[in-house]
């Protein structure tokens, strides 16, 4: 039997062929699958303009408040801070903790989060390097990409040093630290979250759940070449994965039939769910074939 391989054409369509067609890449090569994943999502959804915030500080507040809660709850908390003119670094650092708790109550774990926010705001005020590296919006060049001035020439400080500094804060884990580095500071670091894990595993890109391994996976494959490892692309890629996970590749009922990346997804290309996971046999099926139809109409001898 002649074995055909699936290739991806430049226009994003997949074709089956025995030899490599012109301007096509083998789909099994994960570097090209990453490129295709990004391109398809970008074409399907368009630019996402992340993070949904007006300033770098608002972005950082959102990243801390969004832990263990839905974004809609964070929006309410940020709206309350804005309404009372209390969203600035100074206001949060100096207001009574009880008052801050009241304002951010809708985001859940509000006592913990109020303490963390105040600690972070005070550090930003007292640490010049932190402030300079994470709040570059005041120096944004006209025409640069992203709301916080993402683009070449904006990286100040060392990514690892800044990441370690952020991780030293109470309650700031790798996901929050990388979100702040990428979306507020413009550092080229990929953000890994539950959505990235779910989509990556369903596509068959990786099996691991480990944060650092998944991040390294994206860093290695998005470096140079067609998908340059630039902060603006990590920015867009993460936002697109979140959109896909929320709208189509949901946790319980993924809508593979309308998914733009179905033809490169291992999960999506499996047979229908009914065939993929047959339901366990019913008690009647387990008991074997039913003899009743064969016995229908038979005359039984009378007892005695």
Residues at the site binding ligand SF4, with contacts judged by CB under 6 A:
199, 202-203, 248-249, 254-256, 259, 261-262, 265, 267-268
CB of 250 to ligand SF4, least distance (A): 8
Task: Give the residues across from 7 on adjacent strands.
Answer: 15, 26
Longest Cα separation, the chain: 106
Q: What gap in Å lies between CA 173 and CA 67, rounded to an integer?
A: 10
Whole-number minimum distance, CB 36 to ligand SF4, in Å? 12
Nearest residue to ligand SF4 by CB is: 268
Residues 6 or more apart whose CB falls under 8 angstroms from that of 286 comprise none
Comparison of 23 and 250: residue with beta carbon closer to ligand SF4: 250
Question: In this complex, which beta carbon is closest to ligand SF4, that of residue 169 or of residue 267?
Answer: 267
Spatial distance between the Cα atoms of 206 and 153, rounded to a whole number of angstroms: 32
Query: Least CB distance from residue 197 to ligand SF4, whole Å?
Result: 12
**CA dist., res. 78 & res. 90, Å (int):** 15
For ligand SF4, give the closer residue by CB, 206 or 267.
267
Task: Quote the least distance from Cβ 107 to ligand SF4, whole Å.
Answer: 29
Compare residues 58 and 236 and give the one whose CB is closer to ligand SF4: 236
Min dist. Cβ of residue 15 to ligand SF4 (A) = 19
Nearer to ligand SF4, 74 or 256 (CB): 256
Torsion of CA 137, 138, 142, 147, to 10 degrees: 20
Q: Cα(4)–Cα(2) distance, rounded to whole angstroms?
A: 6
């Amino acid at each position: 039997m002649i074995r055909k391989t699936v290739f991806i054409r430049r226009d994003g369509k997949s074709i089956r062929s025995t030899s490599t067609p012109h301007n096509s890449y083998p789909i099994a090569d994960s570097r090209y699958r990453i490129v295709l994943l990004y391109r398809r999502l970008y074409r399907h959804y368009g630019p996402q303009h992340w993070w949904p915030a007006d300033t770098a500080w608002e972005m950082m507040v959102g990243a801390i408040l969004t832990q263990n809660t839905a974004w809609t709850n964070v929006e309410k908390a940020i709206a309350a801070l804005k309404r009372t003119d209390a969203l600035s670094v100074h206001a949060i650092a100096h207001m009574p903790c009880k008052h801050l708790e009241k304002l951010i109550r809708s985001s859940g774990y509000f006592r913990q989060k109020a303490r963390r926010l105040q600690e972070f705001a005070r550090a930003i005020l007292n640490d010049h390097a932190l402030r300079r590296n994470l709040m570059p919006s005041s120096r944004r060049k006209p025409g640069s990409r992203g709301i916080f001035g993402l683009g070449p020439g904006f990286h100040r400080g060392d990514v690892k040093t800044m990441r370690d500094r952020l991780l030293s804060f109470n309650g700031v884990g790798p996901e929050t630290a990388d979100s702040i580095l990428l979306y507020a500071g413009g550092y080229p670091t990929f953000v890994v979250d539950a959505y990235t894990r779910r989509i990556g595993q369903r596509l068959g890109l990786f099996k691991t759940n480990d944060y650092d391994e998944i991040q390294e996976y994206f860093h290695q494959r998005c470096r140079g070449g067609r998908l340059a490892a630039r902060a603006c692309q990590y920015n867009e890629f993460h936002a697109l994965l979140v959109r896909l996970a929320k709208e189509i590749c949901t946790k319980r009922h993924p809508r593979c039939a309308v998914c733009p990346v179905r033809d490169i997804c291992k999960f999506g290309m499996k047979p229908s769910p009914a065939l993929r996971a047959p339901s366990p046999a019913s008690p009647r099926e387990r008991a074997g074939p039913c003899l009743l139809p064969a016995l229908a109409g038979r005359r039984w001898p009378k007892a005695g």
